[in-house]
Amino acid sequence: MFYVVKPSENISRTLEHVIRMGGTLLIENIGETIDPLLDPILQKATYISGGIKFINIGNQPVEYSNDFR
């Protein structure tokens, strides 16, 4: 799975899907300022709950696949 999105698009749903399924996400023309939605991903702020790895995207926990890129 390989997805390409632009910052002008609503990337939250695509981001959640790609993280869950373990695909690759490329964000085109990101510019100098980065959406705060991406901070947990860039910081790799994952945690384990009930033996499953999660990451918070916005206020929502999303199951994190180790194959996500």
In a domain, 17, yes or no: yes
In a domain, 25, yes or no: yes
Domain that residue 23 falls in = 2-63
Q: Is a pLDDT exceeding 90 seen at residue 69?
A: yes
In a domain, 68, yes or no: no
Identify the pLDDT of residue 34. 87
**pLDDT single digits (tens) 21-64:** 999 999 999 888 888 999 999 999 999 999 999 999 988 999 99
Which DSSP string corresponds to the chain? -EEEE-TTS--HHHHHHHHHHT-EEEE-S--SS--GGGHHHHTT-EEEETTEEEEEETTEEEE--TT--
Identify the pLDDT of residue 46. 97
Q: Is a pLDDT exceeding 90 seen at residue 17?
A: yes
CA distances for 10 relative to 13, 16, 29, 39, angstroms: 7, 11, 14, 16
* More confident: 7 or 67: 67
